[in-house]
Amino acid sequence: MTAAYHAPQALLPDGWARDVRLEVGADGSIVAVRPGDAGEGCERLAGAVLPGMPDLHCHAFQRAMAGLAQRLEPGEASFWTWRETMYRFLERLEPEDVAAIAAQLYVELLEGGYTTVVEFHYLHHDRDGRPYADPASMAWAVDEGARRAGIALTLLPVVYLTGGFDGRALEGGQRRFRLDPAGALDLLDRVGERFGDDPDRALGLAPHSLRAVPPAALAEAVRGAAPSLPLHIHVAEQVREVRDCLEATARRPLARLADLVGLSERWCLVHATHLDDDEALLLAGSGAVAGLCPTTEADLGDGLFRLPEHLEGGGRLGIGSDSNVGTDAFAELRLLEYGQRLTSLRRLVAASAAEPSTGGRLWRAALAGGAQASGRPIGRLAPGLRADLLVLDGASPIHAGLAGDRLLDALIFGPGRAPIRDVMVGGRWVVRDGLHPRRAAIGAAYRSVLARLLA
């Protein structure tokens, strides 16, 4: 049966429209979108409607590390020491823990404006680094978390083989990540069989990084993945990574990656922080999505993405919650822009003559890039696409007198959190009146897992 909704205003593919009738089919796809409609027989929505944001880069288990890596210990405090903390933490995790942590995180993501999460899934094995009896156990845990919360999921099995550009073996906590291309393709088959034709599930493949995947394995993984699958990789996040890559290959990471695989619309390059002029130009013109995770990148002291050059060159981008120190899509875009302002000493960096609203341009760019990187029919309110949307609270002060892109500017750059009232994923309401209905139960399970892990 088709459900009909009526929104006072909605962001449609060709711009904002008023009095929009949205019809959603029983399969959770949008059937019709009609602006200027009287709304007869419709459920009236409480405020403006936006397409839900895809979170294009997430490691769900890291949600449970919040507060564990902000304390100065003897020695330097860097990305690399943070990584040691992360390895120590994950030594204790079992699949049921990951399911509980993922469910908690995904509720928070839904309440923060995300309707799809792309899980860069690299925690594969048991505490001793051996495959579980069912080698997909951790993938099922992530999927279970997504089901409890009701978020749509693109799962990316991650290939992870070496501890550096010199090909050194994995040690300690890293052994839980080890997966060669054949193992990742096998995992894709297993998960694909269970996902079947569920329209709210998709797959992709992710070589972890150039430091963790040697060239031959990178080629094998890319060759083995069906051409329809998105490919994701971490690249050029840290200065030391650039230095090590230069030493080992005489090329910088993004240039090296382009040499090895060629860049195209299939790729999502996560972080892509440290680029020289040629690399910035190459990325912008490649059709690949830059996967930006501003809150995590700030937390880890990564550096700033070359946003002006990227947008100038027609580059694509999306946003990710990554280590999940931030779970708010609007705040992620705010920090993306504010980092640029603070270093360039100018305002409205992402805006352009053609798209003068900073918030409008960023939200639309991240929708398009996130949809591309997730490999799912989302990101626009249009017939045939999934009914993944956010309904804002029309009674909130942030709405006062504002419409269209001015509203997006206020949501991203105004005070407080964006007043998200209702969230729909694949035609089902998963958040109503600002609260997830299973929030209490999922929160209780999360607290008991954390109590045990941190004891």
Binding site for Zn ion (CB under 5 A): 322
* Helix H or strand E segment including 32: strand 30-34
Q: How far is the C-alpha of 252 from the C-alpha of 239, rounded, in Å?
A: 10
Question: What are the distances in angstroms from CA 321 to CA 75, 89, 215, 328, 399?
Answer: 28, 19, 28, 8, 26
- Shortest spacing between CB 245 and Zn ion, in angstroms: 17
- Shortest spacing between CB 156 and Zn ion, in angstroms: 11
- Shortest spacing between CB 254 and Zn ion, in angstroms: 16
Question: What are the distances in angstroms from CA 355 to CA 15, 218, 268, 352, 402?
Answer: 11, 38, 24, 5, 18
Catalytic residue among 6, 121, 271, 274: 271
Report helix angle 329-344 to 358-374, nearest 10: 120
Assess contact for 329 and 112: CB atoms under 8 A.
yes
Both tokens of 31, joined, read 């059937």
Residue with tokens 């505490």: 127
Catalytic residue among 55, 97, 143, 322: 322
Both tokens of 239, joined, read 């200065």
Classify residue 169 by burial, with Cβ atoms within 10 Å: 0-12, 13-18, 19+: exposed
**Residue nearer to Zn ion on the CB measure, 158 or 412:** 158
User: 300 φ, ψ to 5°?
Assistant: -90, 0
**Residue nearer to Zn ion on the CB measure, 293 or 408:** 293
Classify residue 42 by burial, with Cβ atoms within 10 Å: 0-12, 13-18, 19+: middle
- Shortest spacing between CB 208 and Zn ion, in angstroms: 9
Question: What percent of the chain is helix, strand and coil (3-state, nearest 5)?
Answer: 40, 20, 40
**Residue nearer to Zn ion on the CB measure, 289 or 425:** 289
- Shortest spacing between CB 122 and Zn ion, in angstroms: 9
Q: How far is the C-alpha of 368 from the C-alpha of 356, rounded, in Å?
A: 18
Provide the phi-psi class of 337: left if phi over 0, else alpha when psi is between -120 and 50, else beta: alpha
3-class DSSP string for 381-445: CCCCCECCEEEECCCCHHHCCCCHHHHHHHHHHCCCCCCEEEEEECCEEEEECCECCCHHHHHHH
**Residue nearer to Zn ion on the CB measure, 293 or 412:** 293
Both tokens of 274, joined, read 């440290």
Clarify whether 322 is annotated catalytic: yes
**Residue nearer to Zn ion on the CB measure, 143 or 322:** 322
Q: What residue type is 207 in one-letter code? A: P
Clarify whether 14 is annotated catalytic: no
- Shortest spacing between CB 204 and Zn ion, in angstroms: 14
- Shortest spacing between CB 82 and Zn ion, in angstroms: 12
The DSSP letter of residue 166 is T
**Residue nearer to Zn ion on the CB measure, 299 or 409:** 299
- Residue closest to Zn ion when measured from CB atoms: 322
- Shortest spacing between CB 131 and Zn ion, in angstroms: 22
Beta pairing partners, 57: none
Tell me the DSSP string of 240-263.
HHHHHHHHHHSS-HHHHHHHHH--
- Shortest spacing between CB 322 and Zn ion, in angstroms: 5
**Residue nearer to Zn ion on the CB measure, 37 or 322:** 322
**Residue nearer to Zn ion on the CB measure, 322 or 422:** 322
Assess contact for 110 and 151: CB atoms under 8 A.
yes
- Helix and strand numbers (H, E) in the chain are 14, 17
**Residue nearer to Zn ion on the CB measure, 286 or 321:** 321
**Active site amino acids:** 271, 322
